[in-house]
Each structure stands twice: as structure tokens, then as C-alpha cells.
């Protein structure tokens, strides 16, 4: 194999760790692989030219039908709290780390194949991912990237006619995911609960040296590093809340040590706003409902701190005190980030006392009418300080009387800071997306690709790569879901 991908600067930092952290694996081949989509923009970032991406050998590598020389691929081991219950061993059950490379600018990228077959951590499952869930992961990770929300990314999506049994018989696919690191909270939990506490520091150093180099020389580097993770996680939750993103499975094994959105399964963007919305049909109790996400982010950080106590101090009581101090940074970091996010969505420049109430009042109006979250925020950009001009979005709001009353307060608030209508509209349109990956849009692309027609995946990639821009020829992608879309159910089955 001579594909340009193999000629890049592979540094494979994870292989420098002892084998207690992973197992070497080989991908299981797929028959008749077809490239559903290739992300040329991301390929360029990792150091591939447009010509390189035409190489047929690239498809073999990205489908798992060929391996890097020297058996470099690994599956890593982790544990995790799933729906609140500790599971002592999970791990990359259907993902393998192809390796880690450094681009000419010095940035690190890990490449992972998700769905490339069984590993020692597959437990009872088949190591595969179906085309349906792979398209959802591929599209959403790039949609989140374009929204400016920290996320793992996707380089390639390969499909195969090979059958995969879920509730119905589906077909297989492999997503090549890309991130600086795929280390999860659960990696640390694995060694903590196994009482292999001496394994925590090498893993923490691996993460710090690669991704938190500014902390590496500090005597309190572990506390400083955990503090950054807690704050990143809090800020990530604020980003999810203010864009209406529901993750669906916020288990600690699905939480990134870099504060990235990771593992797109039964996620969803809010259509009609309901604060208690549960996007995952497998989540009967609503543990991961939209309005629970910030609290769960905090709880997950507490699980990470529990698992890293031995890094903080040799005396357990002192370690707990330090951990509590670190965890205490979450509520403030979240509150600041989320308020800043909501204020930006309303186009406010100054900070005033009543801002939080103003935001909550608007959310309550949407909640009562299950009005479309994305469209209603986007529509606020058309509000004028002049009370005689009604914004067109008014027609979509169920409780018009409440909205009119709210508009009076909003306009008064805008006038209090001498808000300039056109300038505010520009600011608001840069933070309130017009286009998000609604479930029904993904579903249309899935159904077409299941019949071998991949153009809709490409079309969605293009629309969602510019979520804040008006794209007049693609107006229908900004519409609320059609009534027949109500049947779309997403669950843990993937
Ligand atoms: P998830 O719910 O997708 O985050 O997965 C939880 C755990 O189950 C992880 O260890 C996954 O690697 C593993 N897993 C999920 N689906 C499969 C599958 N089809 N084959 C093997 N392992 C899987
Ligand atoms: Mg997972």
C-alpha cells in the first residue's frame, strides 16, 4: 500500500503506553465497499491533497479492507457509568484506532474506524455499525463543527451491502472519525475501579503532554488539568443547551477528556421546544432529557474526579478536598457560559439584571406552544425597536398574547442599550443558526443512501457547513418537520 495517507507523519503516541491500555486489533473486511462521502476539507487539514484523495487504496484503508503496515491498529479499554450504573469494562468494541498523525502545522489527529469489526471489547455484539447510524454520526459531527461546537469529526463514510442485524436487517458502514484524542472519562474510571491506580498517571500524562502542554510543567498539573476539563465540559453543556442539541446517551464513557461532543447515537436537535424533551427512545426515565444535560455534565465530572483522586494527593481526605474545589468550578463556568450564550442569541451587548428573566420568559413561551426552537430564535433577528413593525416569526408562535407582552419587554431592553436594528440582526444571525440537522433531514438522506443514492448526504453536508448563512435555494432545509416525521424514533440501536 502506498496511499498518501500512509506517508503522513504518523506519531502513534498511544502506542507508547504499555499494552495494559489497549489491545492490537485488525479490522474485519467488508465486501464491495462504496465511498458514501469523503470530507475533502478535513482531508486537507490533516495533510492530504485533492489528488491524494482519488487514490483507490484510500478506500481499502478506510473500509478496513487493508491495514497499516506493522499492525498499528488498536482498541483501547475503558469503563463507564451507563445510565448511572457503573460498568467495569467497556472499551472500543467496534472502533479501532488506526493511529495518530501530526500535520505539517504540528496539530495532532487520531483516526478511528468505527464499525470495522469485533475487538476484545465487543462483548456480545458484532463490532459493526449500520449505515443509518453512521450517516447520522458523519453528518452531525460536521454540522456541529460548522456551528463552532467542540466535536469529534468525520473524514470518510464507507458503506457495504454486508448485512447487520438490528431490530430489522440493515447494512454495514464504517465512519473514519477524527479527533486530537478519543480518550474518555471512562478510560480513567477503568483503572481506578480496577485498583490499578498506578496506571492513572501515565494516561493523564499522555493526555496532558499531547493536549494540555501548557500545564505539563506545573507542580499541580493534575489539578490544573482536571479544572480545565471541568470548565470545558461546563462550557460544552452551555453550547448544547443554547443550540438545542440533545446528546441522548451522556454516559461517562461518552464524555471526552478534551471536552468534545463524542459518540453521536440517538442525538437530536430540538424541533418544537420542550424543556423536558427526551431524544432517545431507550431513555424511558428521561435521565438525559434536554433540561437534565447540564446537571448530568456536572455529575459526569464528579465521576471523573472520583476516578482521578489518586492523582490529586496521597492522603485521601486531602485529595477529596482538592477534587471538591475543582468540581466547584463547574456551576459558575456553566452559568456564565450559558447566560452569555442566551444573551448573544437575543443580540444583547450590555449585561443587565433582568436578562436571565427575559430569556426564561421567551423559553417558557416556546415551551408552552412547543414552538420551533431554531426558527423562533432565528426569527428574533427581525424584531425592530419600532413597535409598529411585527417580526414575521410572530405568526408561528402559539401564545401570541404572551409573545406580544414579551416583545414589549424585549424592545424596552433593546432601547435601554440603544440597540441598532441592522447591526443587531447581523450579530444574531451569526449565533442563531438557520440550518440544523433535524432528524427528518437525516432520515431522508439515510433512506436514499440505503438505496444506493448518496447525493442527499452530500447536499446536507453542503447546507450544514454554512448553518448561519441564508441559502435561498435551500429554504426547505430550514422548515419545521413535516407531520409524518413524527414517527421517526431514534434509540440506542445503532
Ligand atoms: P455506545 O452506547 O455506542 O456508546 O456503546 C457502549 C459500548 O458498547 C462501547 O464499549 C461500544 O464499543 C460497545 N458497542 C456498541 N455497539 C457495539 C457493537 N455493535 N459491537 C461491539 N461493541 C459495541
Ligand atoms: Mg460510546
- Write out the residues surrounding ion ligand 2, Cβ under 5 A: 254, 263
Domain endpoint, select from 399, 418, 437: 418
pLDDT of 483 reads 87
Residue 474 is assigned to a structural domain of this protein: no
Look up residue 253 and give its three cell numbers: 464513557
CB count in 10 Å sphere of residue 485: 15
pLDDT of 2 reads 65
Determine the distance from the C-alpha atom of residue 388 to the mean position of all C-alpha atoms in its chain, rounded to a whole number: 41
Return the residue whose CA atom lies nearest to atom 7 of ligand 1. Answer: 90
Residue 116 is assigned to a structural domain of this protein: yes
Catalytic residue, from 12, 126, 253, 421: name it.
Answer: 253
Distances (CA, A) of 127 to 208, 209, 300, 332, 473: 30, 31, 26, 40, 40
Report the residue among 125, 255, 266, 267 best suited for mutation to probe ligand 1: largest number of ligand atoms under 8 A from its CB: 125
Residue 446 is assigned to a structural domain of this protein: no
CA of 419 to the centre of ligand 2 (A): 45
| Residue 195: partners with Cβ closer than 8 Å, 6 or more residues away | none
Both 163 and 226 in a single domain? no
What is the per-residue DSSP string for 423-488? HHHHHHHTTS-S----HHHHHHHHHHHTTT--HHHHHHHHHHTSTTS--GGGGGGGSPPPGGGGG-
E-state strands within 105-208: 108-114, 129-130, 153-165, 169-179
Half-sphere exposure of 165 (CA within 13 A, CB side): 2
Residue 281 is assigned to a structural domain of this protein: yes
Both 123 and 236 in a single domain? no
| Residue 124: partners with Cβ closer than 8 Å, 6 or more residues away | none
Supply the DSSP symbol for 387. Answer: T
Both 139 and 214 in a single domain? no
Helices (H) and strands (E) in the chain, counts: 17, 13
Both 325 and 221 in a single domain? yes
CA of 138 to the centre of ligand 2 (A): 15
User: Taking the C-alpha atoms of 256, 262, 265 and 267 in order, what is their torsion angle to the nearest 10 degrees?
Assistant: 100
- How many domains does the structure of the chain reveal? 3
Containing structural domain, residue 57: 4-186
pLDDT of 1 reads 57
Distance CA 432, CA 413 (A): 19
pLDDT of 197 reads 98
Domain endpoint, select from 385, 418, 451: 418
CA of 113 to the centre of ligand 2 (A): 13
CA of 255 to the centre of ligand 2 (A): 8
pLDDT of 486 reads 75
Both 106 and 211 in a single domain? no
Both 91 and 205 in a single domain? no
Look up residue 137 and give its three cell numbers: 454520526
Supply the DSSP symbol for 27. Answer: P
Look up residue 96 and give its three cell numbers: 479501532
Return the residue whose CA atom lies nearest to atom 8 of ligand 1. Answer: 93
Cβ atoms of 123 and 93 within 8 Å: the answer is yes
| Ligand nearest to the CA of residue 128, numbered in listed order | 1
Determine the 3-state secondary structure of 318 from DSSP: helix
Distance CA 445, CA 438 (A): 11
Q: What residues flank ligand 1, with Cβ below 6 Å?
A: 90-94, 121-122, 125-128, 249, 254, 263, 265, 492
Q: What share of the chain is helix, strand, coil (3-state, %, to 5)?
A: 50, 15, 35
pLDDT of 487 reads 76
CA of 331 to the centre of ligand 2 (A): 26
Residue 61 is assigned to a structural domain of this protein: yes
Ligand 1 atom index nearest CA of 129 = 19
pLDDT of 485 reads 87
Output the tens digit of pLDDT for each of the chain's 494 residues: 568 999 999 999 999 999 999 999 999 999 999 999 999 999 999 999 888 888 889 999 999 999 999 989 999 999 999 999 999 999 999 999 999 999 999 999 999 999 999 999 999 999 999 999 999 999 999 999 999 999 999 999 999 999 999 999 999 999 999 999 999 999 999 999 999 999 999 999 999 999 999 999 999 999 999 999 999 999 999 999 999 999 999 999 999 999 999 999 999 999 999 999 999 999 999 999 999 999 999 999 999 999 999 999 999 999 999 999 999 999 999 999 999 999 999 999 999 999 999 999 999 999 999 999 999 999 999 999 999 999 999 999 999 999 999 999 999 999 999 999 999 999 999 999 999 999 999 999 999 999 999 999 999 999 999 999 999 999 999 999 998 887 788 988 89
| Ligand nearest to the CA of residue 115, numbered in listed order | 1
Residue 154 is assigned to a structural domain of this protein: yes
Report the residue among 74, 89, 91, 94 best suited for mutation to probe ligand 1: largest number of ligand atoms under 8 A from its CB: 94
pLDDT of 49 reads 87
Residue 467 is assigned to a structural domain of this protein: no
Told to judge if 367 belongs to the known catalytic residues of this protein, a careful annotator would answer no
Both 171 and 45 in a single domain? yes
Distance CA 115, CA 29 (A): 11
Determine the distance from the C-alpha atom of residue 16 to the mean position of all C-alpha atoms in its chain, rounded to a whole number: 28
E-state strands within 77-199: 80-82, 85-87, 95-102, 108-114, 129-130, 153-165, 169-179
Cβ atoms of 273 and 317 within 8 Å: the answer is no
Amino acid at each position: 500500500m502506498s496511499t498518501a495517507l500512509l506517508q503522513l507523519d504518523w506519531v502513534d503516541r498511544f502506542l507508547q503506553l504499555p499494552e495494559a491500555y489497549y489491545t492490537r486489533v485488525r479490522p474485519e473486511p467488508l465486501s464491495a465497499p462504496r465511498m458514501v462521502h469523503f470530507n475533502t476539507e478535513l482531508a486537507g487539514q490533516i495533510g492530504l491533497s485533492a489528488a491524494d484523495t482519488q487514490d483507490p487504496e484510500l478506500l481499502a484503508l478506510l473500509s478496513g479492507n487493508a491495514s497499516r503496515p506493522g499492525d498499528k491498529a488498536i482498541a483501547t479499554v475503558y469503563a463507564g457509568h451507563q445510565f448511572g450504573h457503573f460498568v467495569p469494562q467497556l472499551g472500543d468494541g467496534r472502533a479501532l484506532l488506526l493511529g495518530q498523525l501530526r500535520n505539517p502545522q504540528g496539530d495532532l489527529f487520531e483516526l478511528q474506524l468505527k464499525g470495522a469489526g469485533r475487538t476484545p471489547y465487543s462483548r456480545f455484539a458484532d463490532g459493526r455499525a449500520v449505515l443509518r447510524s453512521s450517516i447520522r454520526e458523519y453528518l452531525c459531527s460536521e454540522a456541529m463543527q460548522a456551528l463552532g461546537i467542540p466535536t469529534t469529526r468525520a473524514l470518510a463514510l464507507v458503506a457495504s451491502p454486508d448485512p447487520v442485524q438490528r431490530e430489522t436487517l440493515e447494512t454495514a458502514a464504517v465512519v473514519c472519525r477524527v479527533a486530537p484524542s478519543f480518550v474518555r472519562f471512562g478510560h480513567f474510571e477503568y483503572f481506578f475501579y480496577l485498583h490499578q491506580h498506578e496506571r492513572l498517571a501515565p494516561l493523564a500524562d499522555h493526555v496532558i503532554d499531547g493536549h494540555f502542554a501548557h500545564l505539563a510543567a506545573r507542580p499541580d498539573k493534575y489539578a490544573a488539568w482536571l479544572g480545565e476539563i471541568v470548565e470545558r465540559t461546563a462550557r460544552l453543556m452551555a453550547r448544547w443547551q443554547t443550540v438545542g442539541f440533545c446528546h441522548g446517551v451522556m454516559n461517562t464513557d461518552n464524555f471526552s477528556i478534551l471536552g468534545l461532543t463524542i459518540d453521536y447515537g440517538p442525538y437530536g436537535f430540538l424541533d418544537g421546544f420542550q424543556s423536558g424533551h427526551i431524544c432517545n427512545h431507550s431513555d424511558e426515565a428521561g435521565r438525559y432529557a434536554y433540561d437534565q444535560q447540564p446537571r448530568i455534565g456536572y455529575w459526569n465530572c464528579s465521576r471523573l474526579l472520583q476516578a482521578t483522586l489518586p492523582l490529586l494527593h496521597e492522603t485521601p481526605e486531602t485529595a477529596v478536598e482538592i477534587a471538591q474545589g475543582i468540581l466547584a468550578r463547574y456551576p459558575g463556568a456553566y452559568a456564565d457560559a450559558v447566560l452569555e450564550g442566551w444573551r448573544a442569541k437575543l443580540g444583547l451587548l450590555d449585561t443587565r439584571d433582568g436578562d436571565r428573566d427575559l430569556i426564561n420568559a421567551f423559553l417558557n413561551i416556546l415551551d408552552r406552544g412547543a414552538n420551533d426552537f431554531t426558527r423562533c430564535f432565528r426569527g428574533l433577528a427581525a424584531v425592530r425597536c419600532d413597535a409598529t413593525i411585527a417580526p414575521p416569526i410572530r405568526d408561528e408562535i402559539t401564545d401570541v398574547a404572551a409573545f406580544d407582552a414579551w416583545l414589549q419587554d424585549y424592545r424596552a431592553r433593546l432601547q435601554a442599550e440603544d440597540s441598532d436594528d441592522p447591526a443587531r440582526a447581523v450579530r444574531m444571525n451569526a449565533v442563531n443558526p438557520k440550518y440544523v440537522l433535524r432528524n427528518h433531514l437525516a432520515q431522508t438522506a439515510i433512506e436514499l443512501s440505503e438505496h444506493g443514492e448518496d447525493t442527499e448526504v452530500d447536499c446536507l453536508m453542503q447546507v450544514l457547513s454554512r448553518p448561519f448563512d441564508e441559502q435561498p435555494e435551500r429554504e426547505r432545509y430550514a422548515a419545521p418537520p413535516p407531520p409524518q416525521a413524527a414517527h421517526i424514533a431514534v434509540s440506542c440501536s445503532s
